[in-house]
Every structure is written in C-alpha cells, then in structure tokens.
Amino acid sequence: MKTDNEIKNDVLDQLMYQPNIDETKIGVIVENGVVTLNGIVDSYTKKLAVEKAVKSVIGVKAIALDLEVKYGKEFIKTDAVIAKSATNTLAWNSILPEEKISIKVEDGLVYLSGEVQWFYQKDAANKAVENLLGVKGVINTIQVKQKGRPTQITQKIRKAFERSADVDDKNITLLVENDYVRLTGSVRTFLEKEAAEKIAYFTPGVTNVKNELRVEYEPIYV
C-alpha cells in the first residue's frame, strides 16, 4: 500500500512529464489516497490533461479538481461567441442530432442538455465543445434514451473488457437489470475505474451505470 507522500511524489513526477503543463503552478495535496489539485491553467484542455494524468497514478482513489482556467487576454471569448462556436461545432458533427441538444453558456461554462439515443453521442457532444477556445468547463446533462434494449448486455460488456488494454476485469462484478448496470469489485487505478464505466456506458442497450468499483493497489513482490 502506498503512503500519501509516495502518491504525491508520483503525481508530481507524472505532471512533470506532461507536455505544455507547468507543474510548478499546480499544488498537490494527498490525504488517504484522495488527491486535491489547485492552481491555474491557461486552457480547459490542459485542465483535462492534468486530471487524466493524475488518474493514471497507482494509489490515487479520488480526485478533487480545484484548478482555475484563466485564459490570456488575447484568448478571452464572450459567452455569445462561445455559444455560437459550440452550436456550429455540434451542427458539423454528423453523428449528433443537434436539434435535440440545447446549449447554454455562462461565464465560460458550457451547459449541454437534451436527449440522444446512444451514450457515444453524449460523449461526442462533450468532446466537440471542450476544445473550443474560451471554454472553462463543460456540464453535460444530456439524457440517453434508447428505443430498443438488446439482450446479453453482460456478455457484451465482458467481451469489451477482454478487448480493452485499460481494464483488468478479474475483480469486477457485473449486475445487469434491463438497461441498468452496476459495477462492483476493485481495480488498480482511478483511470481504470473510469475506463470500465465508459465501456459499460458504450454497450448498446445501457442507459445507466452505477460505478461502485474500489481503487485498491496491492504491490507485487518478486
């Protein structure tokens, strides 16, 4: 079991290896495996990159992301300009039913709502707007409502786990009821926990996933 100090050092090392991120502007606090990050980054994509990097560190159980996105004056955009860019971006994406997705922008935060048939569409909407200049964050409350409910969801998820290089499912238990999936058991990293949830969500017929996976790291001694 890693100590909090060991986790902190690993997090700092991981951030140091991230291109375009100044780790000296990011504060790291670790308590019982929970990592709190604070500081300033100059784009939302960098904030996401920091989050992803920390999630990959073994021993991290949860993350409190208190990073402020502060653009330089030359990159600041009004909410109206961001909203127009977001609307155009969704319209250009052929897999998205843009007429069923609503956009609201307040102080650089983009709020997405509406309804889609598949989770990959909800995910695509998120990715479409998160890289837009001026965006400080994305709040995605789009609902997934499928017309049909394919059978054998458990088998489909298991096969997806087997294909994935990011998930070791030997300690993952699946409970499936209609379109609802519950994940219990344990994984080695926070990033693996997130990857397992995404695989479940991307499975046809699934509209809701409850992720109760524990992050537990046990060192292997040789």
Domain at 20, CATH number = 3.30.1340.30
Domains in the chain, number: 3
Sheet holding 34-41, edge to edge: 26-31, 34-41, 62-69
Could you read off the pLDDT tens digit of each residue along the chain, which spans 222 residues? 789 999 999 999 999 988 888 888 899 999 999 999 999 998 999 999 999 999 989 999 889 999 999 988 888 899 999 999 999 999 999 889 989 999 999 999 999 999 998 888 999 999 999 999 999 999 999 998 876 566 688 999 999 999 998 999 999 999 998 788 999 999 988 889 999 999 998 888 888 899 999 988 665 444
CATH of residue 192's domain is 3.30.300.130
pLDDT at 147: 63
Distance CA 35, CA 55 (A): 9
pLDDT at 2: 85
- Among 86, 121, 144, identify where a domain stops: 144
Domain-located, residue 220:
no
Among 40, 45, 47, 42, smallest CA distance to 68 is for 40
8 A C-beta contact, residue 92 and residue 10: no
Query: Do 79 and 110 sit in the same domain of this protein?
Result: yes
Domain-located, residue 198:
yes
Query: Do 196 and 168 sit in the same domain of this protein?
Result: yes
- Among 117, 144, 171, identify where a domain stops: 144
Tell me which residue range forms the domain holding 55.
4-70
* β-pair type (109-116, 143-144): parallel
pLDDT at 145: 82
Backbone dihedral region of 12: left (phi > 0), alpha (psi from -120 to 50 degrees) or beta?
alpha
Q: Which two tokens stand for residue 165?
A: 């290089």
Domain-located, residue 103:
yes
Query: Do 50 and 104 sit in the same domain of this protein?
Result: no
Query: Do 102 and 58 sit in the same domain of this protein?
Result: no
pLDDT at 117: 86
pLDDT at 222: 43
Query: Do 105 and 139 sit in the same domain of this protein?
Result: yes
- Among 48, 70, 92, identify where a domain stops: 70
Domain-located, residue 221:
no
Among 195, 196, 191, 168, smallest CA distance to 181 is for 196
pLDDT at 1: 76
